[in-house]
Amino acid sequence: MRPMLATPATALPTGEDWLHEVKWDGMRVLADVRDGRLTLTSRAGNDATASFPELAGLADLYDDMLLDGEVVALDGGRPSFGALAERMHVRDRRKAERLAATRPVTFMVFDLLRLYGSDLTGQPLSARRELLERLDLDGRHWQVPPVYDDGQELFDATLEQGLEGVVSKRRSSPYLPGRRSADWLKSPHRATHSVVVGGWRPEQTNDSGRLGAILVGTPDGAGGWSFLGRVGSGIAGRAATLLAEEIGTGTIPSSPFSTPVPRVDAVGTTWVEPRVVVEVRALEVTKDGRLRQPAYLGVRPDLTPADLQEVDGA
């Protein structure tokens, strides 16, 4: 099963038909408990169970349930995608256990899709939410965050607290696996973008040859990739090393972008097959299709380029 997805909002919805919750800056995960075993599945359908051993205790709570939520890493009390990025890559059990002790995650549960063999996806959100709250999922590494009636008040509060934004959901909405629905609306404070890497440039401050910036793209509507800009902020130290490992050596002779890349960006760039998805934050996408003041947040191993193309065509 793939998770249900939210549509970008043009305005915060109001009225009794809607409830509102915090938009978490993390990794979307479905947690499936069956017969004492837990399986964590990413939005792209990949098995992420080994990455987060601190969530194994969910299997001891109920014999059969399927939860939807967001895995977050807290930094100073606030979710940080950058802090989560290294955890998302780990598949080695021992390394994951060491990181779980020093950089633990929290599973923010916001939906209940199955319980004791009963499929709840056809039930309205209000009914699923009521049952979810009765499960008393309050543990060291998982919780059910509250929902709110006043979306604007929550939007203002999350802005003040440095959180990512708000997701508004229609109380009567069923759960539509793998579909993007206008019954769920997301209102971020500062846009984040999942983009593909089409090239990289070395650090400009020395002759080390280490990765210092990447060229990224977004779906062009025809199955290819439009050049979106160069991203250098946030790429340093461990983050740069992990990114270089993900990109690997899959170089190609020319730009993979369907739109022109300015000479100032193209000269000195090593072009790569667009297969790695990363998350960036930017003030906006300008009228000429460029990211304004972008900053690198981390690799998205839970997403593939095909996922981005699907979203663009949804």
Q: Count CB-CB contacts under 10 A for residue 195.
A: 28
Positive or negative torsion for Cα 123, 129, 135, 138: positive
CA distance 131 to 139: 17
Task: Give me the residues paired with residue 200 across strands.
Answer: 214, 270
- The question of whether 186 is a catalytic residue gets the answer no
The position carrying tokens 């020093």 is 102
Pairing of strands 142-143, 105-115: parallel
- Catalytic position from the list 23, 169, 186, 287: 23
Per-position b or e across 238-265, b if 16+ CB within 10 A of its CB: ebbebbeebbeeeeeeebbbeeebeeeb
Shortest CA distance to 4 belongs to which of 184, 192, 194?
Answer: 184
CB 162 within 8 A of CB 21: no
| Stated length of the chain | 314
User: Mind giving me the DSSP string for 130-185?
Assistant: HHHHHT----SSEE----BS-HHHHHHHHHHTT--EEEEEETTPPP-TT-EEEEEE
CA distance 189 to 41: 27
First-to-last CA distance in the chain? 17
Catalytic residues, by residue number, are 23
